[in-house]
Structure 1
Amino acid sequence: MTLLRAADDRQNTFSARHSDGNRAVAIWLWAVAALVIAMIVVGGATRLTESGLSITEWQPLLGAIPPLSHADWLAAFEKYKQIPQYHIMNHGMSLAEFQSIYWWEWSHRFLGRIIGVAFAVPLVFFWLTGRLKHGSGAKFLGVLALGGVQGVIGWYMVKSGLVERVDVSQYRLALHLTTAFAILGLLVWLALEEWPDAARRAAGSVTPLIRRMGAIIVAAVILQVVLGAFVAGLKAGFIYNTWPTMNGQWFPSDYWTTPAYLTFFESHAASQFNHRIMAYIVVLIVLTELWLVMRSPVDSRARTTAVLLALAVLAQVALGIMTLLAHVPLELGVVHQFGGAIVFVLAVVHLHAIRRAAVRE
């Protein structure tokens, strides 16, 4: 208690001298955000290489150590041979082939552990040295707790593919990916808030519509991430590999499934169609926001973020089309997932920029 009280006293003293933020804390948060983006990319590669079920146990501590001997590798391989994916998809695979998919999943889990350490250890240091702004400690603890929950969700997702399926549940995959993006968004927002000039008002002003559009863009990108997760979980990117139509159809004839209320979540055609349409909607919203911003006396930061966001969205759509037409090769699929993370980060940065500006009626 004495140590925590002393930390709080130092924090109050530091906050009084640095009420406008701490550059070191902001840089730390940006670094962790970069690790989360790397985690999202590696997760995409793990999914595309069908590697996610290669490790059939969840050991938060001991799992950080990979097999170190031939006997250890054989033991891990034997565990994999007990699940349906091996018998149905990979029966007869060699130990070397198993090691290839194992390393993808191990890297994904190990990077998650690295992120936990990279966030927790500096957090303790900044807290004990009083470098956090008053009241921000609870926010950081919330992000840390959400990271722990994400680890549980990851195992909850993997478990869905160990008994009766050869892959993970698309519902759990969507939850896992959405939580990763939520963590990324919180880290980016907190980093922006911690930057020394974050509290200063922007030079220009924005209309209420521009502010609302900024929030709508973030929500639309998140929805597109969820829809993309269902495409990935259902492997719907491997069908209808044409554009702009879906094998000559503007609306796929097999869109609906039985029962109808599960169409959005279990129909392969519906999941790809929804992802396509949402991409067009995101483009429309982002370009509308860009048009509004260019016509308003906003500061350079809001204008710059609007331009960068529009360019990123257009590039992401083009990349998505290329990935679809090429039948989702690993390289393009991973870059597309990376592009989604960049679009989301820019959407959050733009929202923060227009939130700093005064509202003009």
Structure 2
Amino acid sequence: MSNDKSTNQKKLLRAVQPNRIIYPILIGAAVVIYMISKEVNQETFSLINFTWYSALWILIAILLMAVRDLGYMARLRILTDHEFSWSKSFRIIMLWEFTSAITPSAIGGTSVAILYLNKEGIKVGRSSAIVMATSFLDELYFILMFPLLVLLLNDEQLFMFDLHQSSIWMESLLLFAIGGYLVKLTYLIVLTYGLFWNPRGLKWLLLWIFKLPILRKWKHGANKAGSDIIESSKQLRQKSFFYWFKAFMATFWSWTARYWVVNVMLLAFWFQGYSFAEHIMIFARQLVMWIMMLISPTPGGSGFSEWVFTKYLGEFLPSAGLAASMALLWRLISYYPYLFIGVYLLPRWIKKHF
């Protein structure tokens, strides 16, 4: 038995070995350094006016990330019928975000999240149902917000990061956004069908997930897990409208807080401020950015995220050099902390549960 535990521990450690953490940092840093070396000059620094007012807005940006995590923790407590404490929910969310940060955006940390929940005392089948419910709620947020913002805003401004550049950029951005949206919409339809109409189809998906190397050890027990999923799906279908409303509001709270981080960061350095319409446009472009990040093959979208930030949000900044600098600050606030928190938490979590 101890040998099995040791083998499981080694498998999980291999999945999150240090080079998985180093790669996204190196990729993102390389892209930012290249952009800064190309765009930053003496005039760029003259545009920066850092004061205590700036520090306050940066602090608010960090607090918004905390609000975002609190929303995820609240959602997890709702979906587990408050079986998880706040401290346990914090631990799971941080590990989940860490896994997402070291895997390509299209993959995320969903498969390993099932293992995290299971080791914290939730049956495998119910863990799968909870993870699928979180995916359902996340995708529902994007599916509802994207067309709403497109209807409210000028589509030329929304999909064009520089009105003076060739229209080919706008066309490419539009194609990326529509492609990503269709992927998310298809996934949401399949997930909804599996959770609420055909749980046996979801069982098949679980069997496919457990073919991954890190989870292959448990693939022989996937049949029983599939039965648990069917039972859990029955439970989810029986949940009240208020239950789903609370879970969705926690999701809405989380994603909205995350998108407002960039709006607040911009206020930290440009005191003339932005109009309400500009703030909504900045918010909307971030949502489009996250949809486009689905195509990024790099861990956590490293490199691609920084590049898209400078091109897509640079219009709201005085210079391209400042856009590159802000891209770095944005990732320092919204991405890198999860890497370091995960490095600290994961070995202790493995030691406790294996």
Tell me, yes or no, whether TM beats 0.5. no
Which has more helix, going by share of residues? 2
Indicate the structure (1 or 2) with the bigger Cα radius of gyration: 1
Q: TM-score, normalised by structure 2?
A: 0.30
